[in-house]
């Protein structure tokens, strides 16, 4: 289970490389390093890192075959999500599909600066104070 969780986290971290994350005692680093930090932390705590390394390798293979190879190298999509999963878990998100059915569109240089302020407000609404009626 640890390897599977780390492989999913590796994919998320690769899709959100520039996101700043915090770990113990306020250490901050980019999301792309998070799986490696967790593997190192687990190695220090338990003396074992093989399960986490397998999760990272599997996550990297999936990320490469689904996103990197088709997008950056113009190759064929070597992995396809089975169609029965779409019946149970439909893609209703905008942007990235739930099962990686399409490569991520590449951002043009400078587009990240234009979109930096657009994504700051995540939740709409005014909010409520606890206990306030």
* Predicted local confidence at residue 57, as pLDDT: 95
Q: Please identify which residue in the block is written with the tokens 């190879």.
A: 69
Please indicate, yes or no, whether the overall pTM of this predicted structure exceeds 0.85: no
55-109 pLDDT, tens digit each = 999 999 999 998 888 888 888 888 887 888 888 877 765 555 455 545 555 555 5
Q: Which long-range contacts link 107-112 to residues 24+ away (Cβ below 8 Å)? A: 112/18
20-47 pLDDT, tens digit each = 988 888 889 898 999 999 999 999 999 8
What is the rounded CA–CA span in Å between residue 63 and residue 72?
12
What is the rounded CA–CA span in Å between residue 64 and residue 10?
11
């Amino acid at each position: 289970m640890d390897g599977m969780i780390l492989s999913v986290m590796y994919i998320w971290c690769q899709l959100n490389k520039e996101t700043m994350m915090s770990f113990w005692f306020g250490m901050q680093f980019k999301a792309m390093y998070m799986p490696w930090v967790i593997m190192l932390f687990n190695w220090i705590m338990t003396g074992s890192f093989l399960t986490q390394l397998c999760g990272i390798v599997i996550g990297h293979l999936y990320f490469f075959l689904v996103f990197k190879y088709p997008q950056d190298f113009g190759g064929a999509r070597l992995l396809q999500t089975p169609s029965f999963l779409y019946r149970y878990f439909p893609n209703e998100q905008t942007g990235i599909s739930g099962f990686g059915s399409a490569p991520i569109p590449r951002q043009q240089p400078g587009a990240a600066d234009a979109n930096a302020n657009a994504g700051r407000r995540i939740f709409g609404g005014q909010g409520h104070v606890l206990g306030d009626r």
